[in-house]
Structure 1
Amino acid sequence: MNKINLLILVLLIIACNTKPDYTLSDENPPVTKERKAQIISAFFGLDNSLPLISRALWKEAPGQDGMPLVFSHEIDPNTMQANDFLITTAKGQKKYADFVTLRPASEEFELRTILLIGEYGDHPDNEPINIEIIGELKSRDGQNLQGQKMKVTSLNDGPFISYAEHFIFDENYPYNKEKKGCDCVKNKTTTIVRTVWAGGVIAINGEELGNDQLEKFTITLKRDTDSIKVKPFQIADLNDNDNNVDLCIKEKGIPVYIEVDKHTVIDPNGDENPKTSLSIISRW
């Protein structure tokens, strides 16, 4: 091997083993310290069928299993390792994650979804059924998640909302006006409701969510002692292949509850969502 080829090989090894950069917000919201950090969903999204495009995440990802985990808090990337996770299959086999990443949900104010890539059992006879955090995985505010367990959602079950929060645009928000993952229109939006799904979602027609799906989302807004139900006027944070979907609200009020009609979205396995609903918390 000549010196040039050796140099190329070394650079490739470094590139494949360098941790990706995640976009951390400047400040972790203080309110998170008042809430217990916990795993809130584990979703068997794909069985031996991660697509070729997943090479962008890890060179050995295509053809393997994909399992997104959603957490109540943003994760500290420096504490995240593949051997933090132990998976148990229906037949009692113990499996470990081969590779973990916060991508593709890696923008500021996301970082609460960890994608596990590897071999975790097979549908339908030996699916993964439980996952345990055995390493010292920590949230951005320093809470240790070690020892927490979660039942794994079966492959053929449809996606659901794992987490929902609301916020307004202020000086702390990293506004994105680009096409990929762009945010709600500033001059029309009063409040944003961010929904974090158990896995990545698109519309059931295979396209990005858009105007045809607006009526399928219902948000309850609290106004003093009264409440009203509204529909988003726009869906945002699209075209970035992650599990975060923002709903743009023009009416004034505090969002407290989100409902989504069944058969609104599909996951990467093609499964349609059941009717799903969740309480909305405040980011601030």
Structure 2
Amino acid sequence: MRFNPKARLDTGRTRDRGRGRASRSGGPLGGALGGGGGGGSALPGGLVGGGGIGAVVLVVLVLVLTQCVGGGGSDPGGAGSSAYDTSRMDAGTDRYAGCETGEDANASADCARVAVENSLTDFWAEELGSRFRAEQALVTFTGSVATDGCGEATSAVGPFYCPPDETIYLDTAFFDQVLEDQLGGPDGGFVEPYVLAHEYGHHVQNLLGTMGRVRTQEGPRSDSVRLELQADCYAGMWAHAATTTEDSSGQVLVAELTDDDIRQALGAAAAVGDDRIQQQAQGTVDEESWTHGSSASRQRWFGVGYAGGTLEDCDTFATDDL
């Protein structure tokens, strides 16, 4: 993935919180993200391994389902004001202060993150029109982070979207330490953009009110799996159009997206399939405890979006062919 050196970057929504305090001994899976919306995330114990990978993979690329079901404090389906007060957001570190142009994005992974966020925002603003509002923030952190609407999360949670905050949270160490080292996912420059695009897909679902459709949380055709596969499809939609997205002055943001970039996205999607994770963590596969979908399904739905799919094409709630 290469960015247009002349493009101007907007860092207004990208923030870094720095290092949080140490993880709580119980870990985040039981409820550290459940604050402000009805308790902790009800995650299937059958997926949890004895340690290591089992402590993180259940919520890889995951939106916290107990928050999704209620739709958080946002305004689903409308472009009105969010209930979230951005004045409470800590400005954090100056990690992104030097990210000004596409040339910076080509030289720095941090600035590339800003450029991807800008591209996603431009794409979905065009796609949704009056229904769109940008996420409140993309927040990076190390160790742990305190959220307003979803409680405290540690790096073990992996990337996640908090609906009440309308914010994407990301520990950037996740890609090397978890996705690559523990899950055997690919190492490449487009892996993180795929993840960010998936999480931005959850923001789109929050805006459109799709989260309110989640009733069942386990099983290969559960609402939770449909939600995650749809977010993969939305990520594919963005990837298809990424080289047409623009900065505020009309300069193209993404200069090039290659076949290798798409292979990296598909490899990352496969690495976080429920069947792949279960097989690696416990040596068996239990479809009835799935929450995100199989590797093949995740790749397929990214492909539907990337092939020029529309919002209607990505309606995973309208089909049993998952």
Same fold (TM over 0.5): no
TM-score when normalising by structure 1: 0.30
Higher RCO (CA 8 Å, separation ≥ 6 residues): 2
More strand by share: 1
More helix by share: 2
TM-score when normalising by structure 2: 0.28
